[in-house]
Copies of this chain bind each other. A is one copy, B any other.
Amino acid sequence: MILYLLDLLGVAVFAVSGALAAGRKSLDLLGVAAIAIVTAIGGGTLRDVLLDNPVFWIQNPIYLVVILSSAALTLIYTRFRQPPAKALLIADALGLSFFAISGAQGVEQADLSRIIVVLMGTITGVAGGVIRDVLLAEIPLILRRGNLYATAAIAGIIMYLILQQFGIVRTVAALLGMGTITALRLASIVWGLSLPVFSLQDRQ
């Protein structure tokens, strides 16, 4: 039950981030709704299609209701006030951490290789934002130089898997994995951590 609420919270946060990104590109209302939907469900949808599972939001349309409500509230809120950047970053980090771990848990049960579990969890957490950026004709944020994002997801999922190997209960391991992701993500923003860049142009 708590997991389900966290899941809906993650969807809502990503819908808000999608709506804000759409606003920066001056899309119309339907474009805002479309980008909010894609950002919020893109990762889970790609995971389900790759694994040939039923797509999660088709069976349970409450996800779409939450997304459209979140996008509408974003439109109304930003009409009167600036979006609260700091609160959003924290919420986004929480959304990322929940999606990544819940994505990993879904695959884990299918008894697949560990590397696939890590990859599927990461896809669940970040692919929605990637599709959003592709639709807005930009190089996806997470591929560019920037603070840790997918890296935080990967580290948290690995933490979650290792803790289970050491006999930690699944729920505790999941919470610690989510904490790792949120902490890494926020620490990387505060201290400006990032991965090294690979650039062929610098030396040509």
Contact = CB atoms under 8 A, between A and B. Distances in A.
Interface residues of A, number: 59
Given A61-B115, A134-B134, A137-B138, A144 B27 contact: yes
A115 B135 CA distance: 23
Interface string A96-110: 000000000000000
A143 B45 contact: no
Interface stretch (A5-13, A165-173, A196-204): A196-204
A58 B115 CA distance: 9
A34 to B, nearest CB: 6
Nearest to A119: B64
Interface in A26-77: 26-32, 34-35, 45, 49-52, 54-55, 58, 61, 64-65, 75
Tell me the interface secondary structure of chain A in the complex. helix
A150 B198 contact: no
A142 interface: yes
Contact of A198 (B23, B116, B137, B194): B23
Contacts of A134: 134-135, 137
Given A112-B58, A115-B65, A23 B140 contact: no
Contacts of A116: 58, 61, 64
Contacts of A78: 200
Number of this chain's copies in the complex = 3
A86 interface: no
Nearest to A19: B198
Contacts of A31: 142-144
Contact of A196 (B24, B29, B195, B199): B29
A12 to B, nearest CB: 17
Nearest to A58: B116
Interface string A78-118: 10000100000000000000000000000000001101100
A186 interface: no
A49 B25 CA distance: 29
